[in-house]
Amino acid sequence: MKVAFGNDHAGLTMRQILLDELRGRGIEVIDLGARSEASVDYPDIAEKVCQAVAAGQADRGVLVCGTGVGISIAANKIDGIRCGLCIDEYSAVMSRRHNNANVIAMRGREFAPEENRRLLGIWLDTPFDGGERHERRIGKITSLEEYKG
């Protein structure tokens, strides 16, 4: 598996912990994240990571910003991306089982680093359930990408 990884300045404290988790599992990492506390815009990080996933250069993506909210919103603007913000075990499991999420967004602030490591592991280990019901719903999500207002 190959994973594109990105963090903004607010995700810097989680950066090495999550990279260690990925690499410790033997996962090849495309590191597109910020390496200092200098302010960067999370939509730019989300774009780089999600373009790598959408283009097939990476199998999945991992994103970290302060709350995880902004970066997940930005990620979901990229065609082919299904990004789930995971702050507990249930969201980590269900984003994979039912939504086949190919990108995870995580909190960089106000959250225990070891909990993020645990949730990332759960997300990586959880397979997609598949089946007509979930495939149909993912198809409907994909069709929303064509909506132009």
Tell me the pLDDT tens digit for each residue of 86-134.
Answer: 999 999 999 999 999 999 999 999 999 999 999 999 999 999 999 999 9
Decide if 9 is catalytic: no
Domain contains 101: yes
Domain contains 63: yes
Instruction: Tell whether the torsion through CA atoms of 71, 76, 77 and 78 is positive or negative.
Output: positive
Domain at 88, CATH number: 3.40.1400.10
In the chain, how many domains are there? 1
Decide if 86 is catalytic: no
Predicted model pTM: 0.97
Q: From residue 63, give the alpha-carbon distance in Å to each of 48, 74, 131.
A: 10, 10, 28
- Catalytic residue chosen out of the listed positions 9, 83, 86, 98: 98
Q: Give residue-wise pLDDT tens across range 30-76.
A: 999 999 999 999 999 999 999 999 999 999 999 999 999 999 999 99
- Catalytic residue chosen out of the listed positions 65, 83, 86, 134: 65
